[in-house]
Amino acid sequence: MQNATQERQEDALSTHQSERHSRQQDSNSSTRRRSRPRRQGVALPLDQHYNQPIKPHVWRSKRRLWTRTQIDRERDEFFDTRVTGRAEVWAALRAALSLLRESEIETAQGIIDAAGVTVPTGDLCEGAYDENGVLYRLPQCIVSDPDNIVDDSGGAAGETDGGDDDIEDGISDRKIVSEESDEELISDDVERRREEKGKMSERDMIRVKARLSDRGGPDVIMPIGKTQNVGVLARKIHSEAKLANTQRIRIVYLGRMLRENEPLVDQGWKPGQVINAMVVAKPS
């Protein structure tokens, strides 16, 4: 009888110790869960993004000298040919930059904030972001006037004195050339004569698919020589699309406006890829 009682007491003690050990393990596990750091990567609210008040951008053109007419035309064409990002953000940036150049910084800042745009460094040339984190690049010739801008009557516009500080986002100040550049016209005449005489072989030709901005389709497929400049391609598309003489074509590839005085393949285009043919008004 005594042995049975002793065995029951030992069983009860063993059960009590087991339950106590189990509760202690549960408590330790709960403590570890509470002390585990929260997972990273949670999106920050807009007011917590890196952001600085916008400020004027000061620069000096070393690659070329700008006239007021040239830089205004460049800005119009830049904003009229944006194919990436959100249109309303580009519109807000355009309006804010116009005010910023007039020293109306507070009003410009209000437009930037209302559009949900953040500028991590305060300098729009170094990048601006929308609420989805999309980057908007702005060349410095779009953001502000150089401090050595010249009068339209000056004959020095377009001259260079070396340096390459005007290149931004693959857009170079030198990409704007005279509509009636002698070198370009001579080059085009030579190329036209070569084509007429049949001296351009099939292996020197490429077929380029262009998507015009003023219509829903179809795309234009245009044959052109590998060494022919983008300006020649633009005029061929203009003729094929039967556009008015008051309009012109600017070639855009991967969101970047191409230079008209260089071949397409020299500017990164790959066979089979589509280019954008932006229909814009000719400068008056």
| Domain presence at residue 52 | no
Calpha distance 266→284 (Å, rounded): 30
The total number of structural domains that make up the chain: 2
Unique residue bearing structure tokens 């002698």: 182
| Domain presence at residue 34 | no
| Domain presence at residue 244 | yes
Pair 145, 209 in one domain: no
Q: Identify the domain boundary among 110, 134, 150.
A: 150
| Domain presence at residue 185 | no
| Domain presence at residue 125 | yes
Could you list the residue range(s) of the whole structural domain that residue 248 is in? 202-281
Q: Identify the domain boundary among 126, 150, 174.
A: 150
Is residue 218 reached through a cis peptide bond, with omega within 30 degrees of 0 on the bond before it?
yes
Tens of pLDDT along the chain (284 residues)? 555 555 555 555 555 555 655 566 555 555 544 444 443 434 445 445 679 999 999 999 988 889 999 999 999 988 888 888 899 999 999 999 999 999 999 999 999 999 999 999 999 999 999 998 899 999 999 999 999 999 876 544 454 444 444 444 334 433 333 333 333 333 444 455 544 444 455 677 889 999 988 887 788 898 988 888 898 999 999 988 888 888 889 998 887 888 888 899 898 898 888 998 888 887 76
Enumerate long-range contacts of 57-61, CB under 8 Å, 24 or more apart.
Answer: 57/123, 57/124, 57/125, 57/140, 57/143, 57/144, 58/144, 58/147, 59/140, 59/144, 59/146, 59/147, 59/165, 60/146, 60/147, 60/148, 61/141, 61/146, 61/148, 61/149, 61/166, 61/173
CATH number of the domain enclosing 146: 1.20.225.20
Contacts of 112 (CB under 8 A, 6+ apart): 54, 92, 93, 96, 119, 128
Q: Identify the domain boundary among 109, 129, 150.
A: 150
pTM check: above 0.85:
no
Unique residue bearing structure tokens 């003489």: 245
Pick the closest to residue 63 from 151, 188, 148 (CA basis).
148
Per the CB < 8 A criterion, the answer to whether 97 and 142 are in contact is yes
Rama region for 142: left / alpha / beta (φ>0; ψ in -120 to 50; rest): alpha
| Domain presence at residue 112 | yes
CATH number of the domain enclosing 245: 3.10.20.90
| Domain presence at residue 250 | yes
Pair 210, 146 in one domain: no
Question: How far, in whole angstroms, is CA 189 from its chain's centroid?
Answer: 35
The number of C-alpha atoms within 13 Å of 138 and in the hemisphere containing its C-beta is 26
| Domain presence at residue 174 | no
Pick the closest to residue 62 from 151, 137, 146, 126 (CA basis).
146
